[in-house]
Structure 1
Amino acid sequence: MKTVNIYTDGACRGNPGVGGWGVLIEYGDTKKEYFGGELNTTNNQMELKAAIEGLKALKEPCIVHLTTDSKYVMQGITSWIDNWKKNNWKSSSKKDVKNK
């Protein structure tokens, strides 16, 4: 199985406000960039969008090394997601998970 490196970032001017996201995908010598933006968004939404779009761009199952500077994304995919699913997408405070 091939190994792919995905580098992501997202940002927002104001919170909420105008925001953007970007992804760099590396596989061997091949590099692809993806990016986009939204008029009314948050920093966390743009960070998540970058990671999601990077994963969606993959054409086949791969070993993925995802690099992000977002603690929110990191904790969401490594710690929180199992409980969110188990609790029907509710947070520990019984509220709907933001940015589902």
Structure 2
Amino acid sequence: MQKVTIHTDGSCLGNPGPGGWAAILKLEGEDYRKEFSGGYALTTNNRMEMLAVIESLVILKSPCLVDLYTDSRYVCDSVSKGWLWGWVKKNWIKSDKKPVLNVDLWQRMLPLLRQHKVTFHWLKGHAGHPENERCDVLARTQASRRDLPQDTGYKA
């Protein structure tokens, strides 16, 4: 399996508000680096953090070993601490008996997590990590665009 390092970030100008996501993908042992990003007119920061992960895994053409770095505790803990798998078993209900938010995106992420062997790593945001800082710039740039599409999965 190809080893891949991915850095992701999401951003919202207001929460909710216009949002952007970004990812940087690097292949181990190759001189390959790809930056990509996108955004939506009205969304949340958590949705953008999730989309950055989803879009970065979708782009991989075959199963990979992935080290994924994010400054989102929401995403990192939900997967790494097993909450996501518990939510699935409990039909998208959390331990506090409230419904899970962003189910549409978790459902998109699940098959990608099954396809790839992903290890999540949490990074402190805005702490000078070059790839995290670059993703932040890309995500904020996307959030600032005037021509953003609607996030049809966002429920106000």
Q: Of the candidates 45, 65, 86, which is equivalent to residue 89 of structure 2?
A: 86
Corresponding residue for residue 31 of structure 1: 33
CA distance in 2, matches of 1:20, 1:82: 27
Q: How many residues are paired up?
A: 100
1:20 aligns with 2:23: no
* Structure 1 residues without counterparts, runs of 5 or longer: none
Q: Secondary structure at the match of 1:83?
A: helix
Q: Secondary structure at the match of 1:14?
A: coil
- Aligned-pair identity in percent equals 50
Q: In structure 1, what residue type is equivalent to 2:101?
A: K
Structure number with greater CO (CA < 8 Å, separation at least 6) is 2
CA distance in 1, matches of 2:7, 2:43: 21
* Cα-to-partner distance string for 1:62-82 (whole Å, 9 max, x where unaligned): 100000011001011112111
Deviation of the 1:96 alpha carbon: 2.0
Q: TM-score, normalised by structure 1?
A: 0.95
Q: Secondary structure at the match of 2:71?
A: coil
Runs of 4+ that moved beyond 4 A: none
1:56 aligns with 2:58: yes
* Cα-to-partner distance string for 1:34-54 (whole Å, 9 max, x where unaligned): 100001011111001101111
Bigger strand fraction: 1
1:96 aligns with 2:99: yes
* Structure 2 residues without counterparts, runs of 5 or longer: 104-156
CA distance in 1, matches of 2:96, 2:102: 15
Q: In structure 2, what residue type is equivalent to 1:31?
A: R
CA distance in 1, matches of 2:72, 2:62: 25
Instruction: Give the alignment of 1:67-78 within 5 angstroms.
Output: 67-78=69-80
Q: In structure 2, what residue type is equivalent to 1:89?
A: W
| Alignment RMSD | 0.9
